[in-house]
Amino acid sequence: MIVDSKRTLPEGKNNIVNHRWIGGASMWVIGPCVLVLAASPLLVAWQNHPGESEDGKRLFIANCAPCHGADGDAIAGVDFGHGKFRRASTDNDIIEIIKAGVPGTGMPAFSNELSEVEIRMLTSYLRFLAGSAQSASAPGDAAGGKTIFEGKGKCLDCHRVKDRGSRLGPDLTEIGSVRRSVELERSILEPDAEILPQNRFVRVVTRDDVTITGRLLNQDTFTVQLMDSRERLRSFERSDLKEYVFVDKSPMPSYQSKFDPRELADLVSYLVSLKKPEKN
């Protein structure tokens, strides 16, 4: 029998290369920025579907980043972003180290904390880290970045840090714990390159022709929940809507030509410094 309606991906897209990434947090900055800077080297195009590395990343952030950092380079001699391990050379080595820990070091055993599947997800994520683009273009000054963030960049118009700023865009209070510097940099320069699923915007048009655009909070077969531009939590019956569509473009403009390299580096450094508080 011949199969119809089969769907074979184009040649070259079947194999997923290591250069892939589930975007950075979209930085939302509204306001005039006049400085120009040269484009930084960015991540190579990836072919993962949005959200696909999220499980591994979530595990990494929860279990590894507290010691290894979001970039995986906070422990001397170890740099996941460059595929640099002290003791592991194969996936199985990594798996065994995650399971058993490294006696005499701060590396605990995770065999009771994580399932086999989760350990494999983590290992896969570490492989991804090693194969993806490295850290941001240049180190910067976090204090200077904070000034740009709150001043010239007008980032608080859309983003929130602790109790300041808008809730409409992604909350950046702990962004340094969950996003790597290279991702943050890319989000500033190319906000459309990748928008995380949880940062998607939708537009709904009600039967009486009211259009509401907002951040998608949830959806199901019959309803949709969003935060509108006035930070109101709204819920709609889909049967009451004339239109319900995803907004493909990020509401955040590109700052490719608006910050100079120093400002960009400072801003990224500031964002990286926004960490989750240490547990007591």
Summarize as ranges the residues that interact with another protein (CB under 8 A).
Answer: 1-9, 13-18, 47-56, 90-92, 116-117, 120-121, 124, 197-198, 200, 216-222, 246
Q: At closest approach, how far in Å is the CB of 248 from another protein?
A: 10
Closer to another protein by CB, 67 or 246: give it: 246
Task: Choose among 173, 143, 81, 178: nearest CA to 269.
Answer: 143
H helix or E strand, kind and range, residue 227: strand 223-228
CB of 139 to another protein, least distance (A): 32
At residue 23's C-alpha, the angle toward residues 17 and 24, to 5°, is 140
Q: In which residue are the tokens 């700052």 written?
A: 255
Helix (H) or strand (E) holding 270: helix 261-273
* Nearer to another protein (CB atom), residue 6 or residue 230: 6
Q: Is 94 helix (H, G, I), strand (E, B) or coil?
A: helix
User: What span, in angstroms and rounded, lies between the C-alpha atoms of 261 and 146?
Assistant: 15
Partners of residue 171 on adjacent β-strands: 160
Amino acid residing at 98: I
CB of 107: closest distance to another protein in angstroms?
Answer: 21
HSE on the CB side for 213, CA within 13 Å? 10
For another protein, give the closer residue by CB, 112 or 280. 112
- Write down the least CB distance from residue 219 to another protein, Å: 5
Residue 192 Cβ vs another protein, minimum distance, rounded to whole Å: 15
- Specify the residue, 40 or 132, whose C-beta has the smaller distance to another protein: 132
**CB-wise, 51 or 151, nearer to another protein?**
51
In the complex with another protein, the residue whose CB is nearer, 118 or 260, is 118
At closest approach, how far in Å is the CB of 95 from another protein? Answer: 8
d(CA 201, CA 168): 10
